[in-house]
Amino acid sequence: MNRKTLELWVGLFVAIGLLALAMLAFKVGNLTTADVLNSYRIKARFENIGGLKVKSAVTMAGVRIGRVSEVSFDSVRYQAVVTMDIDGRYKTIPTDTSATILTAGLLGEQYVGLEPGADEVYMKDGETIRLTQSALVLEKLIGQFLFNQAAGGDKGK
């Protein structure tokens, strides 16, 4: 086999190999949405974050606008502090925005949903969201439900 044909075949092989890798990166993986460009950080305190993890999505109106970059515990106030990286393109988040921990589907993973307020002053880097609502813990909910059932049953007698 002469040199030219060999180089052609090897070139073709390398090209489709790299193409496959690119497909895995962009089509299968989430490289395009993973890196948030020139992001800024905001914080929120929650009583209970449920199953929220680092890299969980932060959404507003259902659109992913950032991700959770750090989860820590405040041992003075016994609260969870969630730090979020918000995409730099979305700079107009009102200061009275509320944050809720939601679940995608019944058994899906948890994410932070931001509900915009009406304030015309916007959040800056490092600020904290004041209005928060904790994650729904299924066990607590079931416990409450059972308790109500039992109480209701007594009344019925």
18 scored as a contact of another protein (CB under 8 A): yes
Helix ranges restricted to H, 24-157: 31-34, 138-156
141 scored as a contact of another protein (CB under 8 A): no
Stretch that binds another protein, among 19-27, 65-73, 121-129, 148-156 (CB under 8 A): 19-27
Neighbours of 20 (CB within 10 A): 10
Q: Draw the binding track, 76-115, toward another protein (x: CB under 8 A; -: no contact).
A: ----------------------------------------
Closest by Cα among 136, 113, 126 to 49: 136
Three-state secondary structure call for residue 73: strand
Q: Which is nearer to another protein, 27 or 124 (CB)?
A: 27
Contacts of another protein in 117-136 (CB under 8 A):
none
Q: Report how far residue 154's alpha carbon sits from residue 157's, in angstroms, rounded to the nearest whole number.
A: 6
53 scored as a contact of another protein (CB under 8 A): no
Residue type, 118: A
Smallest gap from Cβ 112 to another protein, in A, equals 15
Q: Report how far residue 135's alpha carbon sits from residue 52's, in angstroms, rounded to the nearest whole number.
A: 9
Three-state secondary structure call for residue 43: strand
54 scored as a contact of another protein (CB under 8 A): no
Question: What H or E segment, with its residue span, contains residue 65?
Answer: strand 63-74
Query: 2, 4, 16, 145: which one contacts another protein (CB under 8 A)?
Result: 16
Neighbours of 117 (CB within 10 A): 16
21 scored as a contact of another protein (CB under 8 A): yes
30 scored as a contact of another protein (CB under 8 A): yes
Query: 2, 10, 44, 76: which one contacts another protein (CB under 8 A)?
Result: 10
Structure-token pair, residue 2: 């002469």
Per CB under 8 A, residues contacting another protein are: 1, 3, 6-7, 9-10, 12-14, 16-18, 20-21, 23-25, 27-31, 33-34, 55
